[in-house]
Amino acid sequence: MLELRLVQGSLLKKVLEAIKDLVTDANFDCSATGFSLQAMDSSHVALVSLLLRSEGFEHYRCDRNISMGMNLNNMAKMLKCAGNDDIITLKADDGSDTVTFMFESPTQDKISDFEMKLMDVDSEHLGIPEAEYHAIVRMPSTEFARICKDLSSIGDTVVISVTKEGVKFSTSGDIGTANVVCRQNTTVDKPEDATIVEMNEPVSLTFALRYFNSFTKGTPLSNTVTISLSSELPVVVEYKIAEMGHLRFYLAPKIEE
């Protein structure tokens, strides 16, 4: 028996909107720790890792570890039927091939349930090692989304370089080149508007911009985004999910042959 009640149901709606275009089918894993997902895109270039900790749910019952295969597009369709202020409860019986999403309006005057078929999803879990990153950049998530969108109108790849000066995003294409430099800036009214550049070693890596643009669909989840970079390692783009966990995107770099 599985029963997870999430008062801030909009979080789950936002998570699905953030990942449904990158990953088609995935297994949601449920354990005492929380509700999680790890999945790669079809080309195995990017990886999504979601964690919603059990403590973040108002009610969390998961009698035994289970893995539920879902088509994310279908799940997103169902969650779109929940209001932004609705409480969402996920329910599944042992051995059942369906999951039920129950939506309750804040005033309890409307209660809906949507039952979705589960599916078998072949997925390989990858071990993500703890890494010391050469550089960690924290910036407003909307700013990062703006940069990715702007640069993708000029080129297909972005070079992200972190130096003492700050973080530089560069691209080039048929029509020309573009460089955006963000300097550390902590003299802001609100902490979420700060840009913080922590650098242990200078680092410069090249990535496909279209993946970054897909990751920025996580922007509604958090005011800030953290970008962790190390030479010849996948970059981590992380959106924290307030008091619950995180949505992390890993992207393999392009490396000169």
Residues that bind other proteins (CB under 8 A): 40, 43-47, 124-129, 157, 206, 208, 233-234, 250-257
Residue closer to other proteins by CB (options 10, 228) is: 228
Residue closer to other proteins by CB (options 90, 251) is: 251
Nearest to 89 by CA among 35, 36, 50: 35
Residue closer to other proteins by CB (options 94, 132) is: 132
**Is the backbone of residue 214 left (phi > 0), alpha (psi -120 to 50) or beta?**
alpha
8 A C-beta contact, residue 69 and residue 118: yes
Q: Report the nearest approach of other proteins to the CB of residue 36 (Å).
A: 13
Residue closer to other proteins by CB (options 175, 255) is: 255
Give the strand pairing for 98-104 and 203-208: unpaired
* Whole-number Å distance between alpha carbons of 87 and 53: 17
Angle at 119 between CA 80 and CA 51, to 5 degrees: 60
* Whole-number Å distance between alpha carbons of 162 and 169: 9
Place of tokens 């028996």: 1
Sheet strands side by side (includes 87-92): 59-62, 2-6, 87-92, 98-104, 111-117
Place of tokens 């970054």: 212
Residue closer to other proteins by CB (options 76, 135) is: 135
Place of tokens 């700013």: 143
Q: Report the nearest approach of other proteins to the CB of residue 208 (Å).
A: 6
Nearest to 227 by CA among 146, 167, 174: 167
Q: Report the nearest approach of other proteins to the CB of residue 250 (Å).
A: 6
Q: Report the nearest approach of other proteins to the CB of residue 213 (Å).
A: 16
Phi, psi of 253 (to 5 degrees): -75, 170
Q: Report the nearest approach of other proteins to the CB of residue 232 (Å).
A: 8
Residue closer to other proteins by CB (options 25, 104) is: 25
* Whole-number Å distance between alpha carbons of 55 and 245: 10
Q: Report the nearest approach of other proteins to the CB of residue 199 (Å).
A: 21
Q: Report the nearest approach of other proteins to the CB of residue 71 (Å).
A: 21
Place of tokens 């202020």: 85
Residue closer to other proteins by CB (options 95, 127) is: 127
